[in-house]
Amino acid sequence: MKIGELSRRTGVAPRLLRYYEQQGLITAGRAENGYREYIEDDVARVQRVASLVRSGVPTRLVRAILDLEGIRSAELAQTCTRSLAEQLATELTELDERIACLTKSRNTIHDFLTSTRHSELVKTPR
């Protein structure tokens, strides 16, 4: 599929897809005419990358996280450098802080909506 179709299917702008490629987060094949070509698996990968970026994970760590998701625990112990471990530990702390903040905001909104006459709009249980 071409970049336009990948963009339509993922909701990620072509310019951002090119940036993801530049950062090594996705890889595109090339057609004879030089156009980027993507495969079906790229749809899920782009959605995962975009989700991580929207969640506040810096792109420098998105690649590391994606790489780690494909490594078994025994392999991980052998490949993890001190520098990467420190970066991931910092990111873990920051993620926990963002999760706590988002959870508090979600609970506030949930509680407010359930107390209104529009409580049927709340679709997810707390």
State whether 2 and 23 are in the same domain: yes
Looking at the fold, whether 36 and 76 belong to one and the same domain comes out as: yes
What's the domain count of the chain? 2
The answer to whether 25 touches 38, Cβ cutoff 8 Å, is no
- As beta bridge partners, residue 29 has 37
Q: Is the pTM of this model over 0.75?
A: no
Residues 94 and 117 in one domain: yes
CATH code at 60?
Answer: 1.10.1660.10
Question: Is residue 3 domain-shared with residue 56, that is, in the same domain?
Answer: yes
The predicted pLDDT at position 72 comes to 66
Which among 5, 44, 1 has a CA at the least distance from the CA of 26?
Answer: 44
pLDDT at residue 125 in the model: 63
Encode pLDDT of 35-53 as tens digits. Answer: 899 999 999 999 999 999 9
Q: Do 17 and 65 fall within a single domain?
A: yes
- For the chain, which ranges sit under pLDDT 70? 72-76, 124-126
pLDDT at 39: 94
Same domain for 86 and 58 = no
Residues 105 and 49 in one domain: no
What is residue 74's predicted lDDT score, i.e. its pLDDT? 67
Both 59 and 92 in a single domain?
no
Give whole-number Cα distances, 19 to 24, 104, 115, in Å: 9, 33, 44
